[in-house]
């Protein structure tokens, strides 16, 4: 660390502390000299590189090395038992279950069973598929069924208390306030 006095244009004098910081690390001396010359030239000093100053700066003690990055694997957390003695034990990773890939026919049979009231967990277990995958596929199946029912004008309303929206053609349950418009169309207008 060094100190310097600087006189300003208005007559005041500043006391400046000069702190040495490592701003770059080079493997090649020519490369380091080049950048040192640029920095010295930017400070208003002549662009000539003083090799003694450069050698003193390069021979300075190295900065603290950065820690090595940790591997990408995420180990399982260790369990700790609290009692008379604290001890850490590592839990073995649980084996991932091997799920099957059902055919389209098996999926449609599962959807029919679910439509008939079968339990979702039981059907997933019978198919040997993930419960959440079956739930998503079944929801998509039901959505497509509803879209096909509303998109086909030949089928008409499903029951007597349902009618088609006069703007979009969707089938909806009519009320006294609906005025022939489904909920979406009545709120949009």
Q: Is residue 65 part of a domain?
A: no
How many domains is the chain built from?
2
Q: Which domain holds residue 13?
A: 2-58
Q: Is residue 92 part of a domain?
A: no
Could you tell me if 181 and 121 lie in one domain? yes
Q: Is residue 67 part of a domain?
A: no
Could you tell me if 49 and 118 lie in one domain? no
Q: Please choose, from the candidates 62, 64, 40, the residue with its C-alpha nearest in 3D space to the C-alpha of residue 51.
A: 40
pTM reported for the whole predicted model: 0.33
pLDDT at 109: 92
Q: Is residue 98 part of a domain?
A: no
Alpha-helix runs per DSSP H in 62-155 = 104-115, 120-127, 131-151
pLDDT at 47: 45
Q: Is residue 139 part of a domain?
A: yes
pLDDT at 46: 47
What gap in Å lies between CA 134 and CA 128, rounded to an integer? Answer: 10
Classify each residue of 119-152 as buried b or exposed e, where b means 16 or more C-beta atoms within 10 Å of its C-beta: eeeebbeebebeeeebeebbeebeeeeeeeebee
Q: Which pLDDT tens digit goes with each residue over 37-48?
A: 887 776 654 445
Identify each DSSP E strand in the chain by its residue range: 2-7, 13-18, 79-81, 87-89, 162-164, 171-173
Could you tell me if 52 and 108 lie in one domain? no
| Mean pLDDT, the chain cut into blocks of 10 residues (189 residues total) | 80 83 82 80 56 62 60 57 54 72 90 90 91 91 83 56 85 84 83
């Amino acid at each position: 660390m060094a100190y310097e006095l600087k006189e300003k244009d208005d007559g005041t004098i500043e006391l400046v502390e000069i702190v040495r910081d490592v701003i770059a690390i080079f493997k090649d001396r020519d490369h380091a000299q080049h950048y040192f010359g640029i920095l010295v030239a930017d400070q208003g000093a002549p662009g000539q590189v003083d090799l003694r100053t450069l050698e003193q700066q390069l021979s300075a003690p190295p900065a603290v090395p950065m820690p090595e990055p940790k591997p990408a694997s995420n180990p399982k957390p260790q369990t700790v038992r609290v009692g008379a003695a604290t001890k850490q034990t590592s839990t073995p990773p649980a084996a991932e279950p091997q799920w099957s890939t059902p055919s389209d026919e098996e999926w449609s049979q599962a959807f029919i069973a679910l439509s008939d009231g079968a339990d979702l967990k039981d059907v997933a277990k019978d198919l040997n598929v993930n419960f959440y995958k079956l739930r998503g596929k079944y929801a998509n199946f039901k959505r497509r069924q509803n879209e096909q029912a509303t998109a086909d004008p030949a089928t008409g309303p499903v029951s007597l208390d349902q009618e088609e929206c006069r703007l979009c053609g969707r089938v909806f349950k009519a009320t006294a306030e609906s005025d022939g418009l489904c909920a979406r169309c009545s709120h949009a207008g």
